[in-house]
């Protein structure tokens, strides 16, 4: 039998880690939440050291994700893809900003080659980034994959603005925690 | 309530369109199956004009996918991502070739920017492609997104060989069918 129904579950703690009533005002508060999800994913042992959150233009959370690649047996289950999928499932639209509002993805670390591509199709208007890919590859064994040379410009030309190095030190601390954690297998 | 459980369903007909007992011998037979899934997805009205199949090194199907972006409200639900996820769910491994075998992705059209990135993490060793991205963008409104300049070389340096233009005319015919179909909304 082929698998024709793919189910990707986020860890149960993610529900309580996110306050859907709260207005996360400002870029720092939004990236801080993504970093906190990454940190908690490491602390709980529920996946890799990455977190991402989709916000609407009122600063409210529409979807949140962490890396669940190994526990869910799915190489695409990166934090950004999970956050997009969760947000899109909630609003029941494949392209978030088709309702005329603006959406933001905040992510604890620069999207890898796959998640970079995913940003073009998700219907976001803004990308907020904590750690750089060079940080990720220095502080961990993760490969980020190849990007177009002018990756920020390519996003800009399709209407997606990019701001990076937001809480970069805090974002890097998650990779140090991950490296220190004995028996880290994710 | 946040969505914490993402479910991505493939169309029911995919089970009967794939013969799991058959040995699909040769590159052409493998890409032909990916193209047939793309064609049927258009004919059935169950998603976009793209199909992809993961084969093991014995030529047997491990996972199959079609584009279900709009019906499943998920911008990441491209054929390649679905095929990888279905294959990985079957073998219960996030990286297919960790069992020491070789895996191939056959796809009806060149992977977009996201699916290109996904190829690096899926654990495949070979990528077989029907239509080119330039065909897709000429024959349809789909944007394929930006790739690194030497996108084939980047795959090769990470152990993934690429062969393209396999049954290219047949692959292009699916996009013509899609364009002709009245009221195509996927």
pLDDT at res. B148: 97
Q: What is the mean pLDDT of chain A?
A: 96
Tell me the percentage of chain A whose pLDDT exceeds 90: 96
Closest-CA residue in chain A for B60?
Answer: A2
Answer yes or no: is pLDDT of A49 > 90.
yes
* Nearest-angstrom CA–CA distance, A17 and B4: 12
Beta bridge partner(s), residue A54: A63, A105
Among partner residues A73, A82, A147, which is closest to B93 by beta-carbon distance?
A73
- pLDDT digits over A83-128, tens only? 999 999 999 999 999 999 999 999 999 999 999 999 999 999 999 9
Question: What residues of A are in contact with residue B158 (Cβ under 8 Å)?
Answer: 143
Relative to beta strand A61-67, strand A161-163 is unpaired
pLDDT at res. B181: 86
* Nearest-angstrom CA–CA distance, B151 and B164: 13
pLDDT at res. A140: 92
| Average pLDDT of span A20-34 | 97
Q: What is the mean pLDDT of chain B?
A: 96
pLDDT at res. B97: 98
pLDDT at res. A1: 86
Please tell me which residue, B110 or A185, carries the higher pLDDT value. B110
Tell me how close the Cα of B176 comes to any Cα of chain A, in angstroms: 23
ipTM field: 0.96
pLDDT (tens digit, 0 to 9) for every residue of chain B, 186 residues total? 899 999 999 999 999 999 999 999 999 999 999 999 999 999 999 999 999 999 999 999 999 999 999 999 999 999 999 999 999 999 999 999 999 999 999 999 999 999 999 999 999 999 999 999 999 999 999 999 999 999 999 999 999 999 999 999 999 999 999 999 855 554
Q: Are A37 and A86 in contact (CB under 8 A)?
A: no
Among partner residues B4, B6, B122, which is closest to A14 by beta-carbon distance?
B4
Q: Is A183 helix (H, G, I), strand (E, B) or coil?
A: coil
Closest-CA residue in chain B for A146?
Answer: B148
Secondary structure of B20-60 in HEC code, one letter for each residue? CCCCCCCHHHHHHHHHHHHHHHHHHCCCEEEEEEEEECCCC
pTM higher than 0.90: yes
pLDDT at res. B1: 86
Question: What residues of B are in contact with residue A117 (Cβ under 8 Å)?
Answer: 112-118, 145
What ranges in B45-167 are assigned the alpha helix state H?
79-91, 113-121, 133-139, 151-157
pLDDT at res. A182: 60
């Amino acid at each position: 039998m082929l698998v024709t129904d793919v189910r990707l579950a986020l860890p149960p703690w993610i529900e309580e880690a996110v306050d859907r009533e709260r207005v996360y005002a400002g870029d720092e508060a939004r990236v801080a939440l993504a970093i906190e999800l990454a940190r908690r994913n490491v602390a709980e042992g529920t996946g890799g050291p990455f977190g991402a959150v989709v916000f609407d233009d009122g600063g409210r959370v529409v979807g949140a994700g962490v890396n669940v690649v190994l526990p869910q047996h799915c190489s695409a289950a990166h934090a950004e893809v999970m956050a997009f999928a969760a947000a899109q499932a909630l609003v029941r639209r494949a392209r978030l900003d088709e309702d005329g509002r603006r959406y933001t993805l905040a992510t604890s670390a620069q999207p890898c080659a796959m998640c970079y591509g995913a940003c073009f199709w998700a219907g976001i208007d803004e990308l907020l980034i904590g750690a750089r890919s060079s940080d990720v590859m220095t502080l961990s064994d993760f490969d980020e994959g190849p990007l177009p040379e002018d990756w920020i410009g390519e996003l800009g030309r399709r209407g997606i603005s990019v701001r990076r190095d937001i809480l970069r030190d805090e974002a890097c601390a998650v990779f140090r925690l991950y490296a220190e954690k004995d028996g880290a297998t994710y």
